[in-house]
Every structure is written in C-alpha cells, then in structure tokens.
Amino acid sequence: MQGGNALVVGAGIGGLAAALALARAGHRVRVLEQVAQIGEVGAGLSITPNAGRALIHLGLGEQLAAIGNTPPLGAIRHYATGEILVTLAQDQSREKYGVPLYHVHRADLHSALATALRAIDPEAILTGRTLESFEQGARGVVARFTDGGSLTGDCLIGCDGIHSVTRAQLFGRDRPNFTGYVAWRGLIPGELVPPDLLDPPLCMTVGPRRMLMRYPLRRGALINYVAIARRPAWMEEGWSVRSTVAEVLDEFADFEPRVTQLIALTPADRCFKWGLFDRDPLPTWTQGRVTLLGDAAHPMPPFTGQGAVMALEDAAILGRAFAAAADVPEALQRYERARHARVIAALEMSRSRSELYFADDPAQQVRALGAGMAELRTLYDYDAGSVAI
C-alpha cells in the first residue's frame, strides 16, 4: 500500500528511521516528539554490519561511511597492571559481511536521519508534542497530546523509548527491570588526550565487576568511553542523569593510571550516568493500527550494543511491510512477524552475557568477551532489506 498517513511517536533513532522508511515507501509521516528541539545527547554507538545494511536500504550508506569510523586496532587490558591480556585483530566485517562495522557519534546518525527525512518532507518532524493517549477505530488513530492538541493518522508507531506511553496504553504498565548495572558515558576532545593514554586506539579495560571501553569518534576528534559497574540499586531521579567526573573516578579508583587519567580529562558538562534497565519481552507489540518499535517494543541492556541496531532493522522491515501489504493491520502484522523472534534473541543474548562480562576475575571476563563477540557476529548476516517478510 502507498499514500497512507502515519503517526510516529518519538524522534529518537528508531522513530526517525521508521519515519524515513515509511516516507520512502510513499506515506505521509508526522513524527511527534516531546522535546522542544530535537538533538541527541552525544555518545558513541556501534553500528554493526546488520544495522549498516538497514541504513543502506534506507538510502544512507554514503552518510554512514562519512560519519562512521571503522574500529582501529584494539586490546583488552588488565585493570590493575595495565597488561595487555588480548590483542584484538583488525575488524574483518567488511571482508566477511560485505559491510564494515562503524563507530558513530549518536548525534551524527540522528542528524543524518533527520536530514534525509526532512529532504522528503520538511514538515515531517513536529516537536513539543507529548503523546498522552490515543484512540483507534476501524479507519484510523487519533493521537492526543498533553497540551490538548490532537492529530489523526491511519496508523500509530510508538517509538517512544523504554518508558513508552504507547506501550503502557496498549499492554498496561509493567515495571522496567534494573539490570544491576550503571553506565557512565564520557566524550573527551581528542586534542586533550596524551597519545600514551590511547595505546592502542581501541581498548577495553576489565576489572572486578567493572569494565571501561573507549574508542575514537569523528576520526579522533573525540574520544568516547563507556564505563560500566555493578550497583545494587538505581536510586537516582530519572533514568539518565548528569554525573560528576569525581564519581566515575571514585568507582574506577583501583584501575591503572591510563584509565583514571583519561576519566579525569572528561569535561564536566559531558559526563552522564545511565541506570541500565530492560523489560521482559512482550508476546506481541501490535493491536490493530498501533504497534511499537525500538526500545518501546524491546528495550535491552547495552552489553551487546544492539539496541539502536535492532531499531534500525525494525524500521527497514516496517517500510517493506507497508510496501508489501494491502492495508495497515496486515502491514503491522507482517512487521511484527518478521521481527519478533530476532529481537528477543538479541535481548536474551545481551542479558545472558552480563554476569560473565562483569565477573570478579579479569581472565574470566576476557574469555567471556571472546565468546560474546563470536556469538554477536551471528547477528551480522541479517539483511533487513531482503529477509522474507
């Protein structure tokens, strides 16, 4: 079908990609985003080949190559001694899977998606619209906003993240599960970092119940790190909060100087902390003309770096499902059928890794990371542009 009128709730990576896929499939799309001005909090994202293929299918292959860095040489180091426990071979994704693995700045990917969508329809993204509820009938869906306004479409795609209002209205409120981990993400201007702290350019440092991974973004103009530690509970107001460099340093105080010196360079306004949550898989995401996509459908812990990747795959499949189906309910059923088992497999993969990745013994962590990376690569062959739907 073509010529539909879709409502997409949320202008994160999932929502923008879904809107782009629908717009490319010939639909008028309105993306309804609660914040007044869109723009992503900066941090790094791994775009594995399966996500690269979804972006190529959405027409963003060139943009991905322009904003992405292929991983540089890497190693896993011991937290206390700094000893290199494993050298990581040059990433072979391009040779093995036909598409490189890229590291991107989230803001760059977000901006590429928004630019491509606005090139098709400059009015596609509406900000300052917070979805409160929706009603669906036999022919369409009315989205109601907290400011009293409303919009009508022939379908509603809830891409409103882990705290999805769409999901809560469809299936009731369930509580997200705290995974027992928190993550700090920092971005440091590359020019501030002495070269000896960046040897090798990509590095994971493993220590008891903690890990820090760093890699360059924007050809080294920024050094991105994510530092994860176990915590018994998440006591903060909010799911992602501003943190302090002192707090990260305190958590990683027994790590070797290359790590602590790097953390100390984090600009105070670029240090954020995330409580890591997931939700139990839903048996279905769809009711009639309304469905869920990305973290709204399947929030997963970030231990395999597949949350945004799965949202990109979802989006490519959603666009194809609309192109193939005779009507909206059929399109949403096709989308869900094609995606459900795969994202649950990715969620379970990520969940099953956490205990071993954050074991007490670095040697055990290294073994777990090797096995985890091998398992993760089993996801890389998927082509959202051509799998059966």
Binding site for ligand FAD (CB under 6 A): 9-15, 32-35, 45-46, 130-131, 159-161, 165, 183, 185, 226, 274, 294-296, 302, 305-309, 311
- The residues, ordered by sequence, that sit 6+ positions from 244 with a Cβ below 8 Å of its Cβ are 268, 271
CA–CA separation, 343 and 309 (whole Å): 10
Alpha helices in the chain (DSSP H): 13-24, 49-57, 61-67, 93-97, 106-120, 165-171, 245-251, 257-264, 307-324, 328-357, 362-377
Alpha helices in 185-304 (DSSP H): 245-251, 257-264
Candidate list 215, 225, 335, 357, residue with the active-site label = 215
CA–CA separation, 356 and 344 (whole Å): 20
Min. distance of Cβ 12 from ligand FAD in angstroms?
Answer: 2
Which is nearer to ligand FAD, 326 or 374 (by Cβ)? 374
Which is nearer to ligand FAD, 162 or 324 (by Cβ)? 162
Which is nearer to ligand FAD, 135 or 330 (by Cβ)? 135
Min. distance of Cβ 307 from ligand FAD in angstroms?
Answer: 2
| Annotation says 215 is catalytic | yes
Min. distance of Cβ 165 from ligand FAD in angstroms?
Answer: 4
CA–CA separation, 41 and 43 (whole Å): 7
Which is nearer to ligand FAD, 81 or 275 (by Cβ)? 275
Residue type, 120: I
Min. distance of Cβ 326 from ligand FAD in angstroms?
Answer: 28
CA–CA separation, 233 and 333 (whole Å): 38
Which is nearer to ligand FAD, 23 or 131 (by Cβ)? 131
Q: For residues 327 and 27, is the Cβ–Cβ distance under 8 A? A: no
Q: Give yes or no for a cis peptide into 200 (omega within 30° of 0).
A: yes
Query: Tokens 């080294």 belong to which residue?
Result: 220
Min. distance of Cβ 303 from ligand FAD in angstroms?
Answer: 9
Q: Is the dihedral of CA 259, 277, 292, 150 positive or negative?
A: negative
Q: For residues 40 and 106, is the Cβ–Cβ distance under 8 A? A: yes
Min. distance of Cβ 305 from ligand FAD in angstroms?
Answer: 3
Which is nearer to ligand FAD, 131 or 389 (by Cβ)? 131
Residues that are catalytic: 215
